[in-house]
Structure 1
Amino acid sequence: MKLHIVGGGSIGLLIAASAAERGDDVTIHVRREEQAEALTLRGVTLIDERKNETYSVKATTSFHSNDDALFVIALTGPALFHMKDLLKRYIGDRPVLFIQNGVRHVDWARQSFPNAHFASVEHGAVRTADTIVEHRGHGQVMTVPSEHESFKRLFERHQTSRLAIRCVNDRTIDAILWRKAVINCAINPLTALLRIKNGELLTNRSAYDLMEKVYTEIITSIPNLKPIVQWDDIVNVCQRTATNESSMLKDVVAGRVTEADFIVLPILKRGAERNETMPTLQTCYTLLCAVDERGMM
């Protein structure tokens, strides 16, 4: 199966290595020429507690292929919107799977790509070099069934692979994405602002109380989210990814714009539509905006 993965970060490399491990023909689209050359020359190395293996992949900084591949967009929200016109021209009506955090991209993707599908990635991964990814925190990729042959084949091939793609029939894709958004809202902003790893949200009493307060504000303001994400779900993610730094923390440390507008803002807006406020989450969002502005100076 041919896969084109757009994005050479932690999740992009994890998916590329997992797909190559299953024998898929993988091409990774990256921004920097040096990463493309390194991946093409050395392959992608996947490290976890059981193995350290390298898999052959192709990599490029260009968008010229006309093959019938399935595309996986493994970009952050800001990077996705920076490239949205290019992606729309290049991918066209070919099948494309979006795995971004948050929900801000969903309406645009549905309008722009006739064969768009969505998934929520619940794995923990860290890119330690341009060609090396560590799989920290084994989870699953949640999505819903599709009638498109390419998606059906992808989901069938990777139900039992490292990716553990799980198609659920009792939820909509919107419910799955909102569930992930709530989990991200409870974890990522606090780890970024406090500069702590995910597991410290459980061991630091004040941080734990703040995380619980954010969750309570969300489900109180938007009650229909409570059935799809429980407090235990958030605790379990923190436990499973205890040694990980959230993507938002990595962005802050690197001076990059965070995904606050893609993860936090849609939750705040949905509450505002019900005339509800979330003061703790709003404060986190305002602080992240200030950090983003400082990082761009």
Structure 2
Amino acid sequence: MKIGIIGAGSIGLLFASYLSTFFPVIIYTRTKEQAKEINDYGVVRKNGSVQTRIKVKAQPIAAWMGKEELTIITVKQYQLSSITEKVKDLETPPESLLFLQNGMGHLKLIEKLPVNNLFVGSVEHGAYKESSYIVSHNGVGKTNVAVYKGDSTVLRELAEVVSPEFPLVVCKNYYEVLVNKLIVNAVINPLTSILQIKNGELIKNQFYLKALKNLFAEISYILNLENQEEYLRQIIEICKNTSDNRSSMLKDIEAKTRTEVDAILGFLLEEANDQGKEGRK
């Protein structure tokens, strides 16, 4: 199975480094310069003190024609519109696309794409892009994927081959997959960004932990969550497992680049507005 990966940020590089062990992979980059560096040096993945150099083919995004059996889209949500327009303009639509974005706003962008198999997913790994071709795998987790439209055969073939080295779990309900990640992102990302702290500090400091619980209560109220204790336990567990990580939103702020706050919190604000809910007293 040939795999394309659109986006050569931390997640794109991470996926390319692992999946290239099993499949022919082409990673599509925003610039010709990054594609050249990946072609020259490969993708270097850091796992603690261990460095692994993996040969990966790279091309600029303009070269993508959707010919691979599966294309994984790892760009940030606010960059998706140009990708979805390109999909619509292709002479032959791609067979299968997997979208790995934070939030849930991208569902409106992908729902009418002329693609047989549309998949969505959430990534629990911690990754940091150190350069155009070097990625640090800081937190080992799994990728949860589900069918949004179409057939799950490609996803199951992928999961069977890459797990357990790079765990990929095929789930039944795409909404649950995205909501679970949305809750985590909506709590951890804004708080760590405002407080300028690593993830673990949210549960080590009693005042930060109180803020975490208050924000989670607001989110639970909007989403009408039934098993709140389990969701809260999951958030706290992720803070522990990624204690030394900076959230993606905090890293964006530190890099003075655009954040995904609209993608992460926009869905919740729309839900609250649709239900006529105001902030909890």
Task: Assess same fold via TM > 0.5.
Answer: yes
Q: Which amino acid aligns with 2:23?
A: D
Given that 1:175 and 1:228 are in contact with CA atoms closer than 8 Å, whether structure 2 keeps it comes out as no
2:244 is paired with a residue whose SS is coil
Relative to structure 1, the CA distance from residue 279 to residue 192 in structure 2 (aligned partners, 3 Å threshold; closer, same or farther) is farther
2:139 is paired with a residue whose SS is coil
How far 1:228 moved relative to its partner?
9.6
Relative to structure 1, the CA distance from residue 157 to residue 278 in structure 2 (aligned partners, 3 Å threshold; closer, same or farther) is farther
Q: Which amino acid aligns with 2:13?
A: L
Match of 2:217 in 1: 216
Match of 1:107 in 2: 108
Structure 2 unaligned residues grouped into runs of 5+ = none
2:20 is paired with a residue whose SS is helix
Supply the distance in 2 between the matched residues of 1:175 and 1:257 (Cα, whole angstroms).
27
Match of 1:144 among 143, 146, 156: 146
How far 1:148 moved relative to its partner?
4.4
Match of 2:127 in 1: 125
Relative to structure 1, the CA distance from residue 141 to residue 57 in structure 2 (aligned partners, 3 Å threshold; closer, same or farther) is same
> Cα deviation per residue 1:77-129 (whole Å; 9 max; x = unaligned)?
11112443124324724200001011000132121143211111111111111
> Cα deviation per residue 1:32-65 (whole Å; 9 max; x = unaligned)?
2221111011110111137321111111112244
Q: Tell me whether 1:45 sits opposite 2:49 in the alignment.
A: no
Supply the distance in 1 between the matched residues of 2:128 and 2:184 (Cα, whole angstroms).
19
Count residues with an aligned counterpart: 276
Relative to structure 1, the CA distance from residue 159 to residue 42 in structure 2 (aligned partners, 3 Å threshold; closer, same or farther) is same
> Cα deviation per residue 1:190-231 (whole Å; 9 max; x = unaligned)?
111222111111123322211111101111232236469610
How far 1:251 moved relative to its partner?
1.4
Match of 1:247 in 2: 248
1:264 is paired with a residue whose SS is helix
Runs (4+) off by over 6 Å = none
Match of 1:134 in 2: 136
Match of 1:72 in 2: 72
How far 1:183 moved relative to its partner?
0.7
1:27 is paired with a residue whose SS is strand
Q: Tell me whether 1:35 sits opposite 2:34 in the alignment.
A: yes
> What is the aligned-residue RMSD (CA, Å)?
2.1
Structure 1 unaligned residues grouped into runs of 5+ = 281-297
Supply the distance in 1 between the matched residues of 2:235 and 2:50 (Cα, whole angstroms).
28
Supply the distance in 2 between the matched residues of 1:109 and 1:229 (Cα, whole angstroms).
30
Match of 1:26 in 2: 25
Match of 2:7 in 1: 7
Relative to structure 1, the CA distance from residue 139 to residue 181 in structure 2 (aligned partners, 3 Å threshold; closer, same or farther) is same
- TM-score when normalising by structure 2: 0.91
Relative to structure 1, the CA distance from residue 269 to residue 225 in structure 2 (aligned partners, 3 Å threshold; closer, same or farther) is farther
Match of 1:198 in 2: 199
Match of 1:165 in 2: 168
Q: Tell me whether 1:156 sits opposite 2:157 in the alignment.
A: no
Given that 2:6 and 2:74 are in contact with CA atoms closer than 8 Å, whether structure 1 keeps it comes out as yes
Supply the distance in 2 between the matched residues of 1:123 and 1:228 (Cα, whole angstroms).
23
Supply the distance in 2 between the matched residues of 1:93 and 1:64 (Cα, whole angstroms).
10
Supply the distance in 2 between the matched residues of 1:191 and 1:255 (Cα, whole angstroms).
15
Supply the distance in 2 between the matched residues of 1:13 and 1:27 (Cα, whole angstroms).
11
Of 214-223 and 176-185, more deviation after overlay is shown by 214-223
Percent of residue pairs identical:
29
Q: Which amino acid aligns with 2:278?
A: T
Supply the distance in 2 between the matched residues of 1:275 and 1:36 (Cα, whole angstroms).
48
Supply the distance in 2 between the matched residues of 1:275 and 1:194 (Cα, whole angstroms).
30
Relative to structure 1, the CA distance from residue 144 to residue 194 in structure 2 (aligned partners, 3 Å threshold; closer, same or farther) is same
Supply the distance in 1 between the matched residues of 2:39 and 2:192 (Cα, whole angstroms).
34
Q: Which amino acid aligns with 1:236?
A: E
Given that 1:124 and 1:241 are in contact with CA atoms closer than 8 Å, whether structure 2 keeps it comes out as yes
2:63 is paired with a residue whose SS is coil
